[in-house]
Amino acid sequence: MMRMATFRRSPWTPAALLASLAWASPLLPDGFVEEFASDPFARGWRVHGDPSAFAWDGSGALDVEWDSARPNGYFAMALPGPVTERDDFAFGFDLMLHSHAVGVAPGKPGTFQMAAGLVRVADATQPWFRRGVFMAPRNLVEWTWFGTEPSGAITASISPAVVPADGRLPWGYADSFVEPRLGVRYGFDLAYTAADRTLRLSMTEDGLAGPALRALSLPAAFTGFEVDALSVNAYSDAGQDPRYAGSLRASGKVDRIRWNGPGPVVSGLRIDKASPSTRVRFGTRPGWRYSLQASPDLMAWQTVAGPATGDGGELAMDDVRAMDAAFYRVEARRP
């Protein structure tokens, strides 16, 4: 995994930022809560895919329609940086359902999921990404809730679910059997700890402790994930095996979306020009390896310092060559 942050030296100022990491976001690295008290799109929320599932009308919550007959849709906020199975993080949200029914589409009598969590936007928005198709999804860490099938063959279940970057088995999931109820204000919180590779899910019902839910420990052969956005997910039921196809139509309000996790991979870039060298300073994330590269034209790049391992603090790297570079960039790699 590699990330770049590129910037330009200016003859008039110590440093002029030319471009930053593509997934940089206004989310606070040490904690964030979205209350929907004002327009969420002004704070960086975006809709990817079908926008018809999501509406904000100033009521202090996000209205969501989970209708599996529609294309995939995501109400998403970019994370400050990529998150993998080697990072600690937590997310949560409140949910109140107005309606919920599964097996509603002809030829799709089975159950289907409501979902929210962490996605990699570049994967989730691909035409081949179909949540109801075996081994089609990639890079997911999410909360899922299935209702009981009309036939009763499969009962309702709630689970954390983790899909690896290559989509291969084993996936991670841990079912707890809880039926969705209308008019209840649920609170869901999921917390992942890298040391034991475990995702723990808890819930409340109208502010009181809900049923105990099973924790998910990633299987030993799990190959890893990388996600970059916090998202409410409205999935299409297209492409399912007709022998097991399900469908969903539900509506409700999502509120108090919560995030706590690592900050950007590279932050606070600045240049100090002190003869005879140029010093570049930047904030790091633990475990990432950083190198400083220079270029006269944004085409040919030369490593002039590093690599060095970040510890979450600031790194300073010097270009000691007897020449000036027009541009610098910081290369960050996850070993």
Phi and psi, residue 52, nearest 5°: -70, -15
Do 249 and 195 share a structural domain? yes
Q: Which residues pair with 204 in a beta bridge?
A: 187, 209
- Domain annotation covers residue 88: yes
From residue 285, alpha-carbon distances to 10, 135, 225, 262, 316 in Å are 27, 32, 18, 8, 14
Do 233 and 133 share a structural domain? yes
Phi and psi, residue 315, nearest 5°: -110, 145
149, 262 in Cβ contact below 8 A?
A: no
Rounded Cα distance, 58 and 208, in Å: 27
Do 124 and 245 share a structural domain? yes
User: CATH no. for residue 138?
Assistant: 2.60.120.200
Q: b/e map of 48-83 (b: 16 or more CB within 10 Å)?
A: bbeeebbebeeeebbbbbbbbebebbbbbbbbbbbb
Do 320 and 240 share a structural domain? no
- Domain annotation covers residue 27: no
Rounded Cα distance, 221 and 200, in Å: 19
What global pTM score does this model have? 0.84
User: CATH no. for residue 325?
Assistant: 2.60.40
Cis peptide before 276 (omega within 30 of 0): yes
Do 230 and 170 share a structural domain? yes
User: Could you read off the pLDDT of 226-285 as tens digits, one per residue?
Assistant: 999 999 999 999 999 999 999 999 999 999 999 999 888 888 888 877 656 788 889 888
Do 282 and 249 share a structural domain? no
Do 327 and 223 share a structural domain? no
Domain ends where: 237, 260, 283? 260
Do 278 and 248 share a structural domain? no
Do 270 and 251 share a structural domain? no
Q: Is the pLDDT of residue 324 over 70?
A: no
- Domain annotation covers residue 94: yes
User: Could you read off the pLDDT of 25-84 as tens digits, one per residue?
Assistant: 444 445 789 999 999 999 999 999 999 999 998 889 999 999 999 999 999 999 988 999
- Domain annotation covers residue 203: yes
Do 241 and 322 share a structural domain? no
* Confidence class for position 109, pLDDT limits 50, 70, 90: very high
Rounded Cα distance, 331 and 163, in Å: 28
The total number of structural domains that make up the chain: 2
Long-range contacts of 302-305 (CB under 8 A, 24+ apart): 303/331, 305/280
The residue segments making up the domain with residue 326 are 2-21+264-333
Tokens coding 213: 């839910």
- Domain annotation covers residue 113: yes
Do 276 and 251 share a structural domain? no
Q: Is the pLDDT of residue 105 over 90?
A: yes
